[in-house]
Structure 1
Amino acid sequence: MMQSYFESLASYHVWATAKILKHVDAISEEEYRRDCGLYFASIHGTLNHMLVGERNWYARIAGENSSIAPLDAELESRRDVLGQALSAASKRWGDWLSTHPQQKYDGDLRYTRASGEHAVAPFVAVLGHIFNHATHHRGQITAALTAMGHQCPELDFIYWAIATQQTEKNQ
């Protein structure tokens, strides 16, 4: 049960990431890099932070704690490369989740924070955080786009569920 729920979140995550990147692609370079008052300043900074989160959590789950980046790291300076990297990172979760047994969801994840501090958290809480983290920052980006006068995508989970159901019915 938990596995199928998280597989749904992983599918939603890919869908929502693609939608926000499509809308971000339509804005000017100046708007993309403008300090919008977001926690990571600009849309570019926020997308970079999202990529840091994707890579850090994937590394932790895969047992690669040595590759943890600072939360404000700029992993990609070029917006096209950043978008491609973020898209690819979002797609890894579905494949990864489908290969892990149900009992994994009952355990804990021991990991190292970006600060170097060791931590332990329930595995399901970590997975929930991974998808919630991206949703939070996509919401910040949609607020910035709206403030700039741009259209924003409907990113609510229910829109993904309806679109997925309609796609399945049409196949």
Structure 2
Amino acid sequence: MDAVAHFAQLARYNVWATARLLEAVRTLPEEAYRRDVGLFFKSIHGTLNHLLVGEHHLWFVRFAEGTSPHVALDAELETDRARLDARLREGAARWAPLIASFAPGRWGGTLDYTTMRGTAASLPFAATLAHVFNHGTHHRGQITAALTALGQPSPELDLVYFLQNPSTP
């Protein structure tokens, strides 16, 4: 599989997994949704905001625009949970068109950006894009563990389930 096809598939998986997770989170009472359940970003709400920050306000901008915004990793960019849900879905949908726009020679190059500490970084382009999708998987896994701990049903989000039936939301 070539890089474009591989990353386009990961972008579709990201949309699928994000939608499934958000559907499960939607049923949570407000108190449980915002409760500190011991996640790195404390609550499910905090972790979803971190995904918005990391995937869409940092990495997407770095890949799409070549700039490095300054935003705290724990910033609460969206206080309203319905709006956060919508922004995460919209953000996930933006990756596939971006991936399709990259020139073939880009995949073997580097992504040059400025870290959160203000230092220059240059990382392998494809591996760094893989990090973006892996990062989302990591935090969705934390949220599914929190759902389980809260006594709520947790969706199956493994990539293999997407590969078996990618049209299932």
Interval containing the TM-score (normalised by the shorter chain): over 0.9
Instruction: Report the secondary structure of 2:48's partner residue.
Output: helix
Give the Cα–Cα distance (whole angstroms) in 2 for the partners of residues 107 and 62 of structure 1.
15
- C-alpha distance in 2, partners of 1:98/1:107? 16
The structure 1 segments of at least 4 consecutive aligned residues displaced by more than 6 Å after TM superposition are: none
Is 1:124 the counterpart of 2:126? The answer is: yes
Q: What SS does the aligned partner of 2:65 have? A: coil
* Secondary structure of the corresponding residue to residue 50 of structure 2: helix
Q: CA deviation at 1:96?
A: 0.6
Conservation of the 8 A alpha-carbon contact between 1:59 and 1:68: no
Residue of structure 1 in register with 2:160 after alignment: 158
User: What is the one-letter code of the residue matched to 2:24?
Assistant: H
Give the length in aligned residue pairs. 165
Q: What TM-score, normalized to structure 2?
A: 0.94
Query: Given the alignment, which residue of 83, 88, 91 partners 1:89?
Result: 91
- Identical positions, percent: 48
Deviation string 1:105-141 (CA, Å, 9 cap, x unpaired) is: 0000000122222111000111100000000000000
Partner of 1:111: 113
In the TM superposition, 1:15-94 aligns within 5 A as 15-54=16-55, 55-63=57-65, 65-94=67-96
The worse-fitting range, judged by mean Cα deviation, of 13-22 and 115-124 is 115-124
Give the SS at the match of 2:160.
Answer: helix
Give the secondary structure class of the aligned counterpart of 2:117: coil
CA distance in 2, matches of 1:118, 1:16: 32
Contact 2:111–2:122, Cα closer than 8 Å, also in 1: yes
